[in-house]
Amino acid sequence: MLFIYKQRMKLKAAYDHDFWDGARKTLSVFWTAQAKIWHGYEVEGLQHIPDQGPALIIYYHGVLPVDLYYVTTSIILEKNRLIHLVGDKFLFHIPGWQTMMEVFNVTPGTVSSCIDVLKNGHLLSISPGGVREGLFGDENYSIIWNKRCGFAKVAIQANVPIIPMFTVNIREAFRTPGWARAWLRGIYERTRLPIVPIYGFFPVKLKTIFGEPILPVPNTNPEELAEKVKAAIESLIRKHQKCPGSILRALLERLPFFR
């Protein structure tokens, strides 16, 4: 409540300027408070996010990307900037979710539309692994990109820095059963229906890490740039994540003694 009270002047100014800006910041205050209370949420490396101008954030996709919501709200409150998000198409068919998608600038995203967002000076976030990585990854935090490099094409053509992002214990907050991953992946690959059961919302310690920006080098190709970004995220995982992930350990990490 103290955190919300301290944000009251920002909220008043936002509503005076624009209703939707006020609505975004109100949701951001409550989401940020929830993140701090439920997950002891922290962000490291926020200085790598520019105060102005475009950048492309590439992140590891958890079962449910709650960390991206927390990052979005942190950047709204700390830098007064809104991240444009690329989300899977099925999100837009969830009843009642369309308005939320519009308020937080979530789009399905094509290469051309992503380039336009960046050339207009905005921040953009993409998870190359998407739902596949989220639902069918495991506690070893292996990256599942299937040679996707569209994001690298976007960065090269827009000539913007790529900022790698990883959230510690994101796979311990929500889980998918091992048997479901094995049985249902074939159905997903044929139909793109995300029907894997999910359990969790455990109050584990979450900490988002932003790595050093990666600038596209002249004459580099998308495949090479994609591999460089993948290696950067894998480096963040090796440095900050204890593998295989453990729900119990992630819960204990709420206490400084166990970190």
**DSSP-derived 3-state class of residue 147:** coil
SS3 state of residue 36: helix
| 90 pLDDT tier (thresholds 50, 70, 90) | low
pLDDT of residue 110: 86
What would the mean pLDDT of 74-95 be, rounded to a whole number? Answer: 81
Q: Which two tokens mark 16? A: 């005076």
Please check the confidence at residue 1 and state whether its pLDDT lies above 90: no
Query: Residue 246: pLDDT above 60?
Result: yes
**pLDDT score, position 98:** 64
CATH code for the domain in which residue 100 is found: 3.40.1130
- pLDDT, tens digit (0-9, with 9 covering 90-100), for 128-166: 999 999 999 999 999 999 989 999 999 999 999 999 999
Cα–Cα distance list, 1 to 30, 88, 104, 138 (Å): 9, 34, 24, 36
pLDDT of 13 higher than 60: no
Does any domain span residue 24?
Answer: no
Q: What is the pLDDT of residue 107?
A: 77
Instruction: Give the separation between CA 22 and CA 14, rounded to whole angstroms.
Output: 4
Number of domains in the chain: 1
Let me know if residue 5 belongs to a domain: no
Per-residue pLDDT band for 11 (boundaries 50, 70, 90) equals low
CA atoms within 13 A on the CB side of 63: 22
Section 38-53 average pLDDT: 98
pLDDT at 139: 96
Instruction: Measure CA 50 to chain center.
Output: 17
pLDDT of residue 93: 60
Residue-level pLDDT at 61: 97
Residue 18 has pLDDT above 60, yes or no: yes
Q: In sequence order, which residues have a C-beta less than 8 Å from that of residue 37 and are 6 or more positions away?
A: none
Angstrom distances, CA of residue 148 to CA of 26, 127, 155, 185, 242:
36, 10, 13, 18, 26
Regarding beta strands 207-210 and 55-59, do their DSSP bridges make them parallel or antiparallel, or are they unpaired?
unpaired
- The tokens for 154 are 């976007």
Residue 30 resides in a domain: no
Q: Does 61 qualify as catalytic in the annotation?
A: yes
Q: Tell me, yes or no, whether 21 lies in a domain.
A: no
Taking only the tens place, the pLDDT of each residue in 162-216 is: 999 999 999 999 999 999 998 999 999 999 888 999 999 999 999 999 999 999 9
Residue 16 lies in a domain: no
Q: What is the pLDDT of residue 108?
A: 74
The one catalytic residue among 17, 61, 84, 93: 61
148 is a domain residue: yes
Domain of 73? 44-258
Q: Is omega for the bond preceding 244 within 30 degrees of 0, making it cis?
A: yes
In a domain, 78, yes or no: yes
Residue type, 24: R
User: What pLDDT score does 54 carry?
Assistant: 98
Which of 3, 78, 6 shows the shortest CA–CA distance to 47? 78
The pLDDT of residue 21 is above 80: no
Q: Does residue 73 lie in a domain region?
A: yes
Proportion of the chain above pLDDT 70, given as a percent: 85
